[in-house]
Structure 1
Amino acid sequence: MRILLWHVHGSWTTAFVQGPHTYLVPVTEDRGPDGLGRAATFDWPASVIELTPEQLRETGIDVLVLQRPHEFELARQWLGRVPGRDVPTVYLEHNAPGGPVPDTRHPAADRPDLTIVHVTHFNRLLWDCGTTPATVIEHGIVDPGPLWTGRLERAAVVVNEPLRRGRTTGTDLLGYFSEAAPLDVFGMGTEHLAERLGIPAGRCRGEELTQSRLHRALAERRVYLHPVRWTSLGLSLLEAMHLGMPVVALATTEVTEAVPAGAGVVSNRLDVLHDAVRGFIADPGTARETGRAARAAALARYGLPRFLDDWDRLLKEVTG
């Protein structure tokens, strides 16, 4: 099957393209947001093929996987075909809704010619999709292996652009948690984070790493901290669990489903989370056993084979 999708979410796409299909990704001369082409920092198979907009018009496509509202028009212009009418189309929604959440209409609502795929059951519950058929395919993770050593008595956080995203990603909570353990914050825009937040330099530092280096770096930290208030479900949280890390997380959005009892500490009480971070730092034995439980839970629910099987079933349904 030939599947066209834009390179939007590198971590999710890395799992998706492990399937048995041919994956077409648009590429433009400037490699801008609508034409990134193949990933530079993720390991993608040879079945992921870059095509220019001109080449796409001459290419047979079995199904579209759209991820952003403006891709409806991009597909129409670049393919000369109307998504949903001329080519089977799935709209993949990565995000939880924003704005007036209980009443937020999805941009692909009331389109019976499409199928909306949500990545969590929480998102499906919150988005108003109208009459558009909607389903859930939970995340799948390319297993990095049980790499956790926890040799560094520090807590790891992964978040991109924490200063811009502020309270959404729990950036304002980092100073509080840095009192429980020194924090290493990984992601884009984390340079000078401690200085900007007024946190003593020794208690918080930021760094951007490639995916392969990131997994190794996370695994050296004693505990993974997920202070995010509002997101779909952070793939970095699931990756940390696959690594065998104990996790400490806010009980928001889908986290309570993803982290079962024994795999970490999940709460909306900041004092409980603060004490949990401190406790894992002080007790590597408990951290190790909790991390093993986290890895087992993540493999069982977010393993790659289940993810790819779910997508194969859906793609066969929509292509008829």
Structure 2
Amino acid sequence: MQRLNILIWHIHGAYLTAITQAEHNWYLPVKPGAPEGYCGRGQDSSMPDYVREIPAEDVKNLDLDLIICQTPRNYQTDRFEILSPEQRQLPTIYLEHNTPEPHPTDSRHPAADDPAVTLVHVTNYNRLMWDNGQTPTRVIKHSVAIDPTVQYTGQHREGIVVVNEIQRRGRMAGFDLFEQLRQQLPLTVAGMKSAEIGGIGEIHYTRLHHTVAQYRFLFSPMRYSSLPLAVIEAMTIGMPIVAVATTELPTVIQNGVHGFVSADPAELLAGMQFLLDNPTEARRMGDNARELAAREFGLPRFVDDWNAVFAEVISQASSVNPANEVVY
């Protein structure tokens, strides 16, 4: 399709790196001090050169085709502060990364019943659980854009968790499970503020997977989350997964095939111990995980899905306002 001019805020760096593999002209607003959403490309970004920063006060002068919001603040505040009245009438997508809060089934989405918005969820579980009202919804499964040369070795007889600020996030992120299980076998954590609890600290995204690949398995202790990108990244490099069997994960990981999933901590412990004691089996499951990741979460499919949604929302907007119709 023809290249579009798209405005998007920097909310989730890993996801932003993946979605910008779709070859359009992407614009990231920036503000002094880099408040939430306004840090631009970020430090040592691996995003393509066609992803450009623009001062927030200059956004109103852009010839845009599409707006992508990702947070209530983007949707309710940011777009009204930095977009012109004309830009606020442009096709708009709300990309929802998260499971519903504060209630898992009764939380109404901020964009519910907004016919001018297309709401894109990253898992079927999320779309099912959010109260979306009458807003049109789509699901685009995750993907990741990481160094394709990174390969699992599993040389460290230790598991690893990759969660930012796991202690602050508490039970939802599974901090208590991590603490319980690391008392019984070798298990560490990477991510923001992980060094404070005996982990290996924060590692820049461009180097993270080289480090993770050396551990025997990735453990996802999250009780309530979208399908974690750390899981997709680990699968992509050929790493076996041990995970709490909640939200979307039971539809992805099969026991004994890609790793182990369970809601029973004793079963999680047994799966971890098996992988620590059987490196050949760990590699077999990691190979299966890599094949699954390529099939279900590969970048070509992800880019095609996003381009299809872009074409759909542009076409719908043109049919509503045919005077401004553009052929794509």
Q: Identify the TM-score tier after normalising by the shorter chain.
A: over 0.9
Q: What does residue 101 of structure 2 align with?
A: 98
Q: What does residue 303 of structure 2 align with?
A: 308
Q: What does residue 246 of structure 1 align with?
A: 240
Contact 1:27 1:52 in 2 (8 A): yes
Runs (5+) with no aligned partner, structure 2: 316-328
How many residue pairs are counted as aligned between the two chains? 309
Which runs of structure 2 are paired with 1:213-228 in the superposition (5 Å)?
Answer: 213-228=207-222
Partner AA of 2:313 in structure 1: V
Alignment match of 2:55 (pick from 52, 56, 59):
52
| CA positional deviation for 1:175 | 2.5
| CA positional deviation for 1:102 | 1.4
Contact 2:20 2:47 in 1 (8 A): yes
- Cα distance change of structure 1 residues 34 and 224 upon mapping to structure 2, 3 Å threshold: closer
| CA positional deviation for 1:75 | 1.5
Partner AA of 1:56 in structure 2: V
Q: What does residue 91 of structure 2 align with?
A: 88
Secondary structure of 1:8's match?
coil
Query: TM-score, with normalisation over the residues of structure 2?
Result: 0.91
- Cα distance change of structure 1 residues 88 and 24 upon mapping to structure 2, 3 Å threshold: same
Runs (5+) with no aligned partner, structure 1: 195-204
Q: What does residue 23 of structure 2 align with?
A: 20
Report the Cα distance in structure 2 between the residues aligned to 1:300 and 1:39, rounded to whole angstroms.
30
Which runs of structure 2 are paired with 1:55-204 in the superposition (5 Å)?
Answer: 55-72=58-75, 73-81=77-85, 86-145=89-148, 147-194=151-198
Partner AA of 2:67 in structure 1: L
4+ long deviations beyond 6 Å: none
Contact 2:182 2:188 in 1 (8 A): no
Q: Any idea what the Cα deviations from partners look like across 1:201-241, whole Å, max 9, x if unmatched?
A: xxxx3311011221011100011111110111110011011
Report the Cα distance in structure 1 between the residues aligned to 2:137 and 2:240, rounded to whole angstroms.
33
Report the Cα distance in structure 2 between the residues aligned to 1:284 and 1:101, rounded to whole angstroms.
38
Partner AA of 2:30 in structure 1: V
| CA positional deviation for 1:184 | 2.1
- Cα distance change of structure 1 residues 59 and 76 upon mapping to structure 2, 3 Å threshold: same
Q: What does residue 249 of structure 2 align with?
A: 255
| CA positional deviation for 1:268 | 0.6
Secondary structure of 1:43's match?
coil
| CA positional deviation for 1:103 | 1.2
Q: What does residue 279 of structure 1 align with?
A: 274
Secondary structure of 2:89's match?
coil
- Cα distance change of structure 1 residues 123 and 17 upon mapping to structure 2, 3 Å threshold: same
Report the Cα distance in structure 2 between the residues aligned to 1:66 and 1:161, rounded to whole angstroms.
24
Report the Cα distance in structure 2 between the residues aligned to 1:183 and 1:212, rounded to whole angstroms.
23
Q: Any idea what the Cα deviations from partners look like across 1:278-317, whole Å, max 9, x if unmatched?
A: 1101110000101000110111000000000000000011
| CA positional deviation for 1:180 | 4.1
- Corresponding position: 1:234 with 2:238: no
Q: Any idea what the Cα deviations from partners look like across 1:116-159, whole Å, max 9, x if unmatched?
A: 00000000000001011011011112253351111110101000
Partner AA of 1:318 in structure 2: V
Contact 1:166 1:172 in 2 (8 A): yes
Report the Cα distance in structure 2 between the residues aligned to 1:76 and 1:160, rounded to whole angstroms.
30
Contact 2:5 2:64 in 1 (8 A): yes
Q: What does residue 201 of structure 1 align with?
A: none
- Cα distance change of structure 1 residues 66 and 115 upon mapping to structure 2, 3 Å threshold: same
Secondary structure of 1:50's match?
strand
Stretch deviating more after TM superposition (68-77 or 154-163): 68-77
| CA positional deviation for 1:82 | 6.4
Report the Cα distance in structure 2 between the residues aligned to 1:90 and 1:277, rounded to whole angstroms.
40
| CA positional deviation for 1:61 | 0.6
Stretch deviating more after TM superposition (243-252 or 30-39): 30-39
Secondary structure of 2:213's match?
helix
Partner AA of 1:153 in structure 2: R
| CA positional deviation for 1:189 | 1.2
Query: TM-score, with normalisation over the residues of structure 1?
Result: 0.93
Partner AA of 1:232 in structure 2: S
Contact 2:146 2:206 in 1 (8 A): no
- Cα distance change of structure 1 residues 180 and 289 upon mapping to structure 2, 3 Å threshold: farther
| CA positional deviation for 1:176 | 2.2
Q: Any idea what the Cα deviations from partners look like across 1:72-106, whole Å, max 9, x if unmatched?
A: 332122122267x6110000000000222211100
Q: What does residue 199 of structure 1 align with?
A: none
Percent of aligned pairs sharing the same letter: 38
Q: What does residue 320 of structure 2 align with?
A: none
RMSD over aligned Cα, in angstroms?
1.4
